[in-house]
Amino acid sequence: MSGNSYMSSCGRCGREDALHCFVETKPFKYNSADCLNCGFSYYTKILVLKKDDIKKLRKNIDSKFNNLAKQEQKNCNDFDKDYFKD
Ligand SMILES: [Zn+2]
């Protein structure tokens, strides 16, 4: 266990030192917090994705990075055009 807790300002009600925060870093990063003033609360959701959900996620991430790679290539081409014109 490598958890750490501290008090912080609440992002909802704005009360200073009302948000009790907890952070765990191992075996993965886990955050939770509870506001002792307004009740605002959040935590890291832990679950295991189903195979179909993993496939969808991979598709989305692949297309996102492919689009970024295309954009970067376009930017490089634009740069080359500007650089070599006179
Ligand atoms: Zn609050």
pLDDT means per 10 residues, the chain with 86 residues, are 90 97 94 98 96 93 82 74 65
For residue 75, the model assigns a pLDDT of: 76
Q: How far does residue 24's CA lie from ligand 1's centre (Å)?
A: 22
What confidence score (pLDDT) does residue 85 get? 66
Centre of ligand 1 to C-alpha 70, Å, is 44
- Exposure string over 57-81, b if 16+ CB within 10 A, otherwise e: eeeeeeeeeeeeeeeeeeeeeeeee
pLDDT at 64 (0 to 100): 82
Gap from CA of 30 to ligand 1 centroid (Å): 20
Please tell me the pTM assigned to this model: 0.62
Q: What are the Cα distances from residue 35, in Å, to 13, 56, 68?
A: 9, 36, 39
Ligand 1 centroid – CA 49 distance (Å): 32
